[in-house]
Structure 1
Amino acid sequence: MSTDEPAPVEAVERGMVRLRRSMSRQGLGRAAIREHNLPVDLRILHVTDAIDEGPDQPGQEMSVGLVASRLGIDPSRGSRIVAEAVKEGYVRRVASQEDGRRIQLELTEAGRKVVESARRTRLRRFEQAMSDWTEHERREFARLLGRFVEHRDEDDERR
């Protein structure tokens, strides 16, 4: 490795910063809302994406607390945004299958349509970014990115 080439961890850090800026500039969520003429704001899109991801572990249910955690916001703010998503018809509250006193969240048909539209926009943008990659490169990137995210999530849980 040459002296002007950053260490791998530094290169990852720089790349992640650039990726975050680029994704913020592109506003993939906003782009999906515009392209598909979705009648939602970005907060609702983030909530529907978080719910669509499903529980982290078998037996876990989608709750307001889990949504708030995924969005990196406090539970009271999460509760307000989820309530807005429910009011607008993208999310519904249902009794827990494990304990009828608890409430879990699920997407309505309108919520699923929002998620699918946003996913199509993101997939198209990622496909364009990797258009000259080989299938092997795409698979290797997906494997390494998945591994990176999994370890980051585990690290966040330990904190």
Structure 2
Amino acid sequence: MSDADLADQLLTLTRLVQRAEAAPAEAMCLPLLAMLADDGPFRAGEIAAVLGVNPSTVSRQVAGLVRSGLIERRADPEDGRASPLVVTAAGRGILDAERQRRAAQFGDALAGWSPDERARFADLLGCFVRDLQRTGALHGS
């Protein structure tokens, strides 16, 4: 398979994942919620920088998540002007449910694969993701 064929397959995968997004309005904010849950807390400006998006976009998403009770602002003891964002229990519940839903979907898609095929795929996909992160291949795209 050529690099161009691989890129086409990955674009198709991206479209499939985007179509499979959860129905609730907060689905658009799941990457932000996951980032805060896995690596937070972060300030809104830090989130914008890491995600490479406009700070106003992050501000709108943060406001919606705060209104929904999925994240909250905390006082920063070192800088009274800063408000680190953290995921609430409700936010973790939404994120956990979405991760379980996606795991079930992927499990269904791989149901016909042997355990060896699944393990090989997981290993190769893990290597691919690590190399994408290491090289910054998708940064700014």
TM over 0.5: yes
What secondary structure sits across from 2:39 in the alignment?
Answer: coil
Matches within 5 A, 1:1-80: 6-7=1-2, 9-25=3-19, 27-30=20-23, 33=24, 40-54=25-39, 61-69=41-49, 71-80=51-60
Quick one: structure 1 residues 66 and 139, their matched pair in 2 at CA, closer, same or farther if it must change by over 3 Å?
Answer: farther
Within 1, Cα distance between the matches of 2:42 and 2:87?
10
Q: Which runs of 5+ in 1 are unaligned?
A: 1-5, 34-39, 56-60
Within 2, Cα distance between the matches of 1:106 and 1:20?
28
Q: RMSD between aligned alpha carbons?
A: 2.6
Cα deviation 1:80-120 (Å, max 9, x = unaligned): 211221122100122447x3444322111110111011111
TM-score (norm 1): 0.71
Within 2, Cα distance between the matches of 1:103 and 1:143?
39
Give 1:23's aligned amino acid. Answer: V
Q: Which runs of 5+ in 2 are unaligned?
A: none
Measure how far apart 1:137 and its partner are.
2.1
What secondary structure sits across from 1:147 in the alignment?
Answer: helix
Measure how far apart 1:69 and its partner are.
4.6
Q: How many residues align?
A: 138
Within 1, Cα distance between the matches of 2:104 and 2:15?
19
